[in-house]
Chains A and B, each alone.
Chain A
Amino acid sequence: MLEIYAQAFATVLLPPNLLAMVLGALWGLLAGALPGISTSMGVVLILSFTYTLSPMTAFVLLVGAYLGGITGGGITSILFGIPGEPSSVPTVIEGHALAKQGKAAAAMWTYLLCSIFGGLFSVLFMIVATPLIADFALRFGPAEYFALTILGLSVVSGLSGGSMLKGFLSCFFGLFLATIGTDGITGEERFTFGTVTLLGGVNFVVAMVGLLAVSEIMIEAEEPFKEYKGMVEYRGLLQELPRFSLFRKYWLTMIRSPIIGTIVGALPGAGATIAAFLAYGEAARTAKHEPQKFGKGAIEGLMAAESANNASTGGSMTILLSLGIPGSNTTAMLVAAFMIHGMQPGPLLLSQRPDVIYGIFVAMIVINLLLLVVAGTAIRLFLQLNRLPYSVFSAAILILCVVGAFGINNSVDDMMLMFVFSLIGYFMRKFGVPVAPCILALVLGDLAELSLRRALLLAGGSPLGLVSGPISAVLLLGALVSIVYPLIKKPKMLGAS
């Protein structure tokens, strides 16, 4: 076995592959950081360059872009409050709050180190436990998916920021928003009022950008005018790097979050978003050090979300390489790359082309380490943006939001929809209704509804079908505990403002 890995290392470290990994990681970082370019779009854009490359070089280039994209989303989330992907929402909540407190450099380094740690952890986990993860993921049917989404939604108590009543209102509003558009089972139109724009439903990136980023600018506009966005004193790498004691303090979060990320990442359709929210919610629920800081700049929340977010890449790749099932849009693009090079990912590939499979495992380790260098260099450059005049910085963020909303479908209607969501977000924030539960519910709502309906169909309409399997029963029990426990612990949270 060691010989195979030594060979894989030797292949991956060949100059053309090394160059491909650096370029892929750089492109991915850029795509992840730029609103309007999702990670999957970033991978698609370079897919056409891989036709003439050798299979290994092509795969390391694409995997580099994939890992770089997932990591890059954190940059704009922390500095601008713009989540490039739904999985970055917890990063916006905690990371951007830290940046506003003048701790942008510390937040950026913590995010980067946790991302890399999550990525590396998941690859090692993947190497050791691929058969187990694949077997576990195959046990997921509609009832298990429904239970998983409910568990994901149950972290609403951790996202409520004080009043759980308002948190639940926001969550159910998000669930309602997720029902807008064409029904996935009957094909019936729901709440579209005859408009074509809403037929496909509310795109969560449009909603996210409006609810989080634009409304934030509106709220900031109420504060007294300031000449500059914020002063960032970058004191050098050694001074800005988080101390090891920080990771020791939150060791449990650092272990638990990547495990959640890897396992949830392996579930097709679940992926990074549920992983990030679950890990974040778990960190908020079990926080021993400064739990009151959650929602206002808790470093533990940032660490949990980012390590789980990146760890999901290992889970997604596991299920892709071992079973040939793409767990996300981006891994679906990787399937296309395999086909272009005459391969079919799945159980046979491991016996036919072990060099490629082990090469990808090793490449993921190397790319994660490369990202530490590449993104670490980029951090300092990005931090300089905080020295821009505040008014110009705000205008630039709004333009990036417009690009982000327009870029999804190249639709002007999406820009207007984003504006509507920015007004909704502004008033929600103004009256203390948290926006994060709404986004979480909007992202998970569709999967929750479809899974519930499919599970009930399979069970002939009996609700007992939802708890007939051990996995779904445990997950639903976990969700129940997650909702009820904070209420028992702090009953005043229900209505506190």
Chain B
Amino acid sequence: MKTKGEVFFFAVCVAFFGFMGVQALALMGEGRAGEIGSALWPLIALAASLGFSVVLLVRAVRSPRRAAAAQAADRDEGDESRRRRQAVALSTACFFVYLWAVSLIGFILATLLFIPAFAFALGERRVKVLVTAPLVLTTVMSAVFLKFLSIPFPKGIGIFAAFSRLFY
């Protein structure tokens, strides 16, 4: 439901900018003549952000017609919509695990595992693609970024570091 989501999103914005505004107030201090301190600029940005968030939140709350339309649209979409949302959640989770795994098992192994997992999460079911793509892509990426450009990606820890050292 987009409107419910909008209300929640702008409510989070209000809370976030409000909290940061309080933090910014703590930065206020005495300066030299003509000097504006560290707090003024962030306070201007946060006050404006907070103001716009409040207006957008109020607008989202006060739009029952759009809410009803969104609800009806959501009912129509049904299973397919839910399946796609799951795909987004799963692929995002895959990406997060990949970022975390790069430092743990090294760039090469993490990339080799990430590509089929991510492709599967998106809905890829062709076995040929799931098997060949990780090998080809990891080889190309490693050759370009690790060998040619010498970007010092993490090697991982323990046995994984020993494995990575075979390549870079």
Contact = CB atoms under 8 A, between A and B. Distances in A.
* Residue among A36, A390, A392, A406 having the largest count of chain B Cβ atoms under 10 Å: A392
B45 A221 contact: no
A449 B119 CA distance: 44
Contacts of B98: 398, 402
Contacts of A461: 33-36
A392 B133 contact: yes
Classify the secondary structure of A's interface with B.
helix
A348 interface: no
Contacts of A395: 114-115, 118-119, 133, 137
Interface size class of A (residues with CB under 8 A): 35 or more
B91 A427 contact: no
A222 B6 CA distance: 18
Given A221-B88, A410-B151, 10 more contacts: A172-B49, A173-B45, A188-B27, A389-B129, A391-B120, A392-B119, A396-B137, A431-B5, A445-B45, A460-B34
B135 to A, nearest CB: 11
B38 A36 contact: no
A222 B99 contact: no
Given A218-B91, A391-B122, A415-B102, A410 B137 contact: no
A391 B129 contact: yes
Nearest to B124: A391
A392 B27 contact: no
Interface in B93-139: 95-96, 98-99, 102-103, 111, 114-115, 118-120, 122-124, 126, 129, 133, 137
Nearest to A448: B41
Contacts of B88: 218, 221-222
B167 interface: no
Interface string A20-56: 0000000000000010110000000000000000000
B18 interface: no
B75 interface: no
Interface string B126-157: 10010001000100010011000101111000
Contacts of B99: 402, 412, 415-416, 419
B67 interface: no
A217 B92 CA distance: 9
Contact of B9 (A214, A403, A427, A449): A427
Interface in B12-68: 13, 17, 20, 23-24, 27, 32-38, 41-42, 44-46, 48-49, 52-53, 55-56, 59
A386 to B, nearest CB: 15
A102 interface: no
B73 to A, nearest CB: 14
Interface in A167-188: 168-169, 172-173, 175-176, 179, 183, 185-186, 188
Interface stretch (A317-325, A353-361, A450-458): A450-458
A223 B77 CA distance: 12
Contact of B34 (A176, A415, A416, A459): A459
Contacts of B115: 392, 395, 399
Given A221-B84, A456-B36, A190 B119 contact: no
Interface in A380-416: 389-392, 394-396, 398-399, 402-403, 406-407, 410, 412, 415-416
26 contacts: A166-B56, A169-B52, A172-B45, A173-B45, A175-B45, A179-B45, A188-B27, A188-B38, A218-B88, A218-B91, A221-B87, A222-B84, A391-B124, A398-B118, A399-B114, A399-B115, A402-B102, A406-B151, A410-B152, A415-B99, A419-B95, A419-B96, A426-B92, A430-B9, A453-B36, A495-B59
A480 B152 CA distance: 47
A227 B99 CA distance: 26
Interface of A: 34, 36-37, 165-166, 168-169, 172-173, 175-176, 179, 183, 185-186, 188, 190-191, 214, 217-218, 221-225, 227, 389-392, 394-396, 398-399, 402-403, 406-407, 410, 412, 415-416, 419, 422-423, 426-427, 430-431, 445, 449, 452-453, 456-457, 459-462, 495
B80 interface: yes
A225 B122 contact: yes
Given A190-B27, A410-B151, A456-B34, A165 B45 contact: no
Given A169-B52, A179-B41, A188-B38, A222 B114 contact: no
Contacts of A453: 35-36, 41
B85 interface: yes
A412 B33 contact: no
A341 B144 CA distance: 32
A218 B52 contact: no
B38 A186 contact: yes
Contacts of B129: 389, 391-392
B145 to A, nearest CB: 5
Contacts of B13: 169
Contacts of A218: 88, 91-92
A399 B118 CA distance: 11
A399 B108 CA distance: 11
A179 B41 CA distance: 8
A169 B49 contact: yes
Nearest to A400: B141
Contact of B144 (A34, A217, A389, A410): A34
Contact of A224 (B2, B56, B80, B154): B80
A396 B138 CA distance: 9
A396 B111 CA distance: 10
A185 B145 CA distance: 37
A37 B87 CA distance: 31
A225 B38 CA distance: 49
Contacts of B144: 34
